[in-house]
Structure 1
């Protein structure tokens, strides 16, 4: 993509004087949307590019989605505001990274131990009521929540080996806001940087590690080239994130294009399910760039127990958060009662 952020914002400022920047040209012909993902180019090549290419191919001369990667148009932390204003028409991100001003934001990304497996996320949204809560929260602030899906589990990739909780103390780690807030009680120092700067920050020593993904992304985006160890204990079983659209832009679309966009989002969710599930196992077994380390189960149980306390703290912050925590509690209790293969303990 050759469009720079400076050029884009300059163009937006000029266009805003006459009309909203991205208003679909329903009367003039082809509709054009700008969409930004929180993922960098190397990752988006897998988790988003195929779905948007499919949409554009099927939509033909009726609509085209221009895709931009992490921080290309606006910083990831400003994605929500840009989407709400209509500067960007659609976004793929977790709620946490894009700083959504909703009561469900804390549950996006990696809410500690909310899930064990990637399939937990779509079940929670489609069968346990999270879709309805997210729809209500985002509709209230002028954004359309289209659908949620899972990505990979959250693990530490570090320069030095992590074999105990003590080894985590003082480690400067790039991670999600809520995950960082939770893990800080174990001495982790959360660091926020632009996505594209992470690899260099590890090389220069500004970061000691990354807790932003599973091993598949570590290899895909180059982080496995600058870290030496992969901790097999995970903070959560799957990232939770969504597709969003500016509400006005969404409502202007004909119903069949809305349906097509939903279908392509579902294709993206499906791709990630098998790409990550297979990739996580294969690279642990066959990968040659990082050595696996593990904190013993008995010691790691302290982290899992702390997560339940963290849930209670979040639930006390608002009725909506309490409702989501209750759903998570109910879901995980059901999974434990269901037994194997849903839960093994």
Structure 2
């Protein structure tokens, strides 16, 4: 800094002697190092694959101007308190779905796994960036002191269970770890939703407190150890792609120089891209070659009962507020467009 001051002072003297004025720096740098604490809803084993590289790369590229400290599920605050902690500035940023972090907004139900809103993971970013959900999310969160950054997809939502599920009747009475909205929907088929800290799930499976999970696809089951405490994987799913986002406290976001905001957005986009191919490939590979979980399927005609129930569930959610009605309208239009497009978008 002293050298820079000397340089500027000498440059000023030279200008007084007739030299050309010193040009302003091309890049505005942060005046002091910015430090954030970001907590993901993913546990440690999963975070290694779905967020750690993104944050590590940001910290390298920020070149000392900014550092993001990454914390995993429930490490600083319980997952269900993530939104409030970020809104209050206790933590600075979050990677989660709206449902798990207990967003106070009406659109929280569409985060995580909204029943049958997507068939494939690519549906999620398409809905946000081609069909207008991004504008709705950004405006909604700006009203509650949070900057919505970007959304992306993870894996589908399948059941992994101790005992085989081959018909809807097999779901009756099963104690299942799942997302709040997914649990509400599945309860009409006899499922008993159970809420636990993420890190307690594997032990709960071993002690018999849980009969299974409807939290992920098969990639996550293997990655985090759930395939070691379950025996069967149901190929029918209630959603083809988890929907989640990065969020930042609005005041903390305002303090960040523009070039670091651009960098953060680029890094979150790289995280979304990585998950698209990591999960897509993992789901196929482990179904084909995995040796821990036996695949089961509920017949298509019987599963149609669940799909039809989703239509009524969508209408129920649409009736809650004008904004939920707007989202459901977009989802229905998207579904109609995909069906009209036929293969490979939807079955003909």
**Considering the TM-score relative to the shorter chain, is it more than 0.5?**
yes
Tell me the TM-score normalised to structure 1 length. Answer: 0.92
TM-score (norm 2): 0.91
2:185 is matched with: 182
Q: Among 103, 108, 116, which residue is 1:105 paired with?
A: 108
> Equivalent residue of 1:104, what SS?
helix
Matches within 5 A, 1:46-195: 46-195=49-198
1:296 equivalenced with 2:283 (yes/no): no
Query: How far apart, CA to CA, are the structure 2 residues paired with 1:45 and 1:264?
Result: 15
CA–CA separation in structure 1 for the residues paired with 2:198 and 2:220: 13
CA deviation map 1:69-121 (0-9, x unaligned): 00000000000000001111110000000010111100000000000000000
Is 1:252 the counterpart of 2:255? The answer is yes
Q: Structure 2 CA distance, aligned partners of 1:48 and 1:291? A: 29
CA distance in 2, matches of 1:107, 1:95: 7
Q: Structure 1 residue 206 and structure 2 residue 209: aligned?
A: yes
- CA distance in 2 between partners of 1:49 and 1:300 (Å): 37
Q: How many residues align?
A: 320
Distance 1:278 1:187 in 2: 32
Alignment check: 8 A CA contact 1:122 1:150 kept: yes
- Confirm whether residue 33 of structure 1 aligns to residue 22 of structure 2: no
List alignment gaps of at least 5 residues for structure 1: 1-25
For 1:265, the equivalent position in structure 2 comes to: 268
CA distance in 2, matches of 1:286, 1:59: 40
What corresponds to 2:316 in structure 1? 313
Matched, 1:279 2:300: no
Q: CA RMSD in A?
A: 0.9
Partners of 1:305 and 1:220 in 2: CA distance? 32
Secondary structure in 1 matching 2:152: strand
| CA positional deviation for 1:60 | 1.6
Q: Which runs of 5+ in 2 are unaligned?
A: 1-29
Measured in 2, the distance between the counterparts of 1:192 and 1:253 equals 36
Per-residue deviation, residues 282-308 of structure 1 (Å, max 9, x unmatched)? 000000000000000000000000001
Question: SS where residue 68 of structure 2 aligns?
Answer: strand
Whether the 8 Å CA contact 1:155–1:213 is kept in 2: the answer is: yes
Q: Distance in 1 between matches of 2:103 and 2:268?
A: 20
**Displacement of 1:34:** 0.3
Q: Secondary structure at the match of 1:160?
A: coil
Q: Could you tell me how far 1:124 is from its partner in structure 2? A: 0.3
Q: Give the equivalent residue in structure 2 for 1:6.
A: none
- d(CA) in 1 for partners of 2:104, 2:68: 26
